[in-house]
Amino acid sequence: MPPLFTGKPIVWYEHLNSTNEFAVNQIKKGLVGEGTVYAAYHQPGGRGQRENKWHSEQGENLTFSVIYEPIFLDATEQFYLNMAVCLALVKFLKTDLNIDAKVKWPNDIYVEYDKIAGILIENMLKGQNLSYTVIGIGLNINQDLFDESLRNPTSVKMITGQRFAIEPLLESFLGYLEAEYLLLKALRFADLYERYIQNLLFYNEERLYSAYDDAFTGKITAITPEGKLIIETSTGQKAFGFKEVEFMV
């Protein structure tokens, strides 16, 4: 379903160092409304979580940022926004491209053991509530050669063997994103959580992890409202923040 306000407008640039940085600056200048999307054919300064770089060949992939105004969300509820974005990507890949994707906690999108998309969400606060959010997404579409420093990248083309025009894919994805955002706006937290956990890579599977330089086996059993990962180990349940545990995949 076409979105009502997301991507109204979509502003394309040949080159932006970072669509997130550009979007944040536009917000600070008061030059942007809810639903605006900034997309770049070339984004050399793209970032992921933990200051990781996002490598993308010019014109081959989707690199863009979406601006929303989730003033209905308390700061303690912001991980539900992350859930909504992840679910939109998973549903878009499954429905439109027949790609069975999963969420690798907290916000990477994987196909089997390979990363196809990354998300960087930057929130601004007013008091205890969110005022603006900038949702930065990098989705590999047509690229099939990647920097050797990247451990496990993949793309739509590598999976399907087909090339796609990137602009129509962005327009289609925004419909999925808006649908999830409207569920979030309706405070459907339980629904978002249940679908997020069911689409989580390695959920309820015995796997190898590393934390604080120690390797251990455990099963992902839950996510806290703040976004911490709950892993059940032989010594009991442990909660990990974003930078505290590594998946040994």
Q: What is the pLDDT of residues 87-146, one digit of tens each?
A: 999 999 999 999 999 999 999 999 999 999 999 999 999 999 999 999 999 999 999 988
> In terms of residue numbers, what domain contains 43?
10-198
Q: Which CATH number covers residue 210?
A: 2.30.30
Would you state the pLDDT for residue 55? Answer: 61
Instruction: Kindly state the tokens that stand for 30.
Output: 């008061």
| pLDDT surpasses 90 at 66 | yes
Q: Give me the DSSP letters along 162-211.
A: ----HHHHHHHHHHHHHHHHHHHHTT-HHHHHHHHHHTBTTBT-EEEEEE
Residues 39 and 63 in one domain: yes
Q: Phi-psi region for residue 51, left (φ > 0), alpha (ψ -120 to 50) or beta? A: left
Residues facing 67 on adjacent strands: 134
Q: What is the pLDDT of residues 186-237, one digit of tens each?
A: 999 999 999 999 999 999 999 999 998 889 999 999 999 999 999 999 999 9
> Residue 114 carries which side chain, given as an amino acid letter?
D
Residues 55 and 137 in one domain: yes
Residues 233 and 119 in one domain: no
Radius of gyration of the chain (CA): 18
Residues 71 and 139 in one domain: yes
pLDDT above 70: percentage of residues in the chain: 95
Assigned domain for 2 exists:
no
Number of domains observed in the structure of the chain: 2
Assigned domain for 98 exists:
yes
Which run of H or of E encompasses 83? helix 79-97
Residues 194 and 210 in one domain: no
Which run of H or of E encompasses 216? strand 214-223
Phi, psi of 210 (to 5 degrees): -135, 130
Least confident of 14-23, 53-62, 166-175: 53-62
Would you state the pLDDT for residue 249? Answer: 67
